[in-house]
Structure 1
Amino acid sequence: MNKKIGLIIIVLCVLIVTGCGNSNNTKNNSNNKNEDNKISCSINNNNGKYDYYINESLVCPQFKEIAYSGDRFFITNSGELYEYSDKKYSTTNNNCKKANTDVLFDKIIENTLVSKDGNFYSFFEGNLKRITDDEIQKGRAWYGLDQMDIKVYKVNNNIFYLDQLNNEKLEIYGYVDGNSIYSISYDWNSDKTNEKLLITFKDGEEVEKVTNGFVVTNKGYYRYGITNQKECSEYEDIKCEYGLVQVDTKDNCLNEIFYVSNNLIVTQNMVK
């Protein structure tokens, strides 16, 4: 009897595992119309591999004017705020629509919106909310309120978001000074920021744009990552060193990119 029960448990475990393994395929096949326009983009640097799926069926005329993006929203070069979705909006019959606000924005730091008059906002599920000084000081938490974004911005309003180190839970920001990129992070213990020179571009390479997670030059793309990956992964007594690492764009979709960040990739086909 015990043997039969054991066999049944093993069979159930196998069914569960194989079922989970096929769940993504089932989900993908249920939406063939969109899946035909999805392309896979593997972005490699020394810090690991990032897999992106780009839905080229998204129709949004304003992607041509994109300046910065957050999680399901973006601002244009003129500062207007738009939200986007995999589904169409009835008011526009495409995949994006202008947010119901006249506020113009200067940038997005991770998911924190900074208006042209220097105020901070969160945007979630179509709701724009100004973050008050009192809420910033007390650290009230809701989607879009990141004290770190705001604290570092108040030290240097030219910052952009780079990455978060999972092993340290430390958010890393950057800023451009001439043709150099510096990292800047906030130390809660000392209530001060730490800065470090990451890279100075030479030989005609110049910074063209910075977005959430990416530095774009006229010669390539860079992400924050481990610069001595081979040594620090092989030797116990060698610490991992972090800096800007060029992304391997060989045979991947970055060669066809119009805009890239850690939450949105727009290809040239999407802005034709």
Structure 2
Amino acid sequence: MTPDLQLALELAEKAGKLTLGYFGRKSLQVFSKRDDSPVTEADRKSEELIRQGVTSRFPGDGVFGEEFDERPSGNGRRWIIDPIDGTRSFIHGVPLYGVMIALEVDGALKLGVINFPALGELYHAEIGAGAFMNGSPVEVSAISETAAATVVFTEKEYLLDPPSTHPIDQLRIDAGLVRGWGDCYGHMLVASGRAEVAVDKIMSPWDCAAIIPIITEAGGCCFDYEGRTIIDGVGLVSANRAMGGELIEAIGKRENAG
């Protein structure tokens, strides 16, 4: 385990413990950001803890988080943080929220850590070293038939009227089981082989960065609605290798036809 991964795991666990101190608290303070999305005092304190931990250990590294201004990198290394992914779940006392930390080096994602403190599940992956949950290896499923697949999603925009004909959105009709287990939790269901596809139509870089290394090292693939593996694209899809390959091919055909 590299010093980078050790730090990410250490900070994810510390931030997770901090958030549990606020979880389920009736007096939790909730504020609205400029985009009308909610943020809590727990989000801010969690990000402050992680930022302080990174800058004290690696003062030249950049830090890019959801709640505060970006600290520019002086060496090509940038930590990407979502202090509480699934803030709405957190506010409502639903334990499916995660603390997310990723490291990007010279524009390429190097590692991802996602801690679900209320569930006791800690996922991590470093490129080339496999994916793990609580120290045990995880891998995506081998299911290739859509009719046998479990598909999970986050946004209500998934239920459009009239329905979207995009290959990803079409899964809500064709999949064997469709459920709304959203945010980073849904993507980790794919990483651990408990679901085949996870869909988020609206994502920011801090929502994506920690997910991609874990899914990739678990044997799956991540891509946006245009079939690109980037952290600032149009949404994010995690999938096992078989179904992901078919979806990317279908997206390509759609783009070429359009």
Superposition TM-score, scaled by structure 2 size: 0.28
Comparing both structures, which one devotes a greater share of its residues to strand? 1
Superposition TM-score, scaled by structure 1 size: 0.27
Query: Greater Rg, structure 1 or structure 2?
Result: 1
Comparing both structures, which one devotes a greater share of its residues to helix? 2
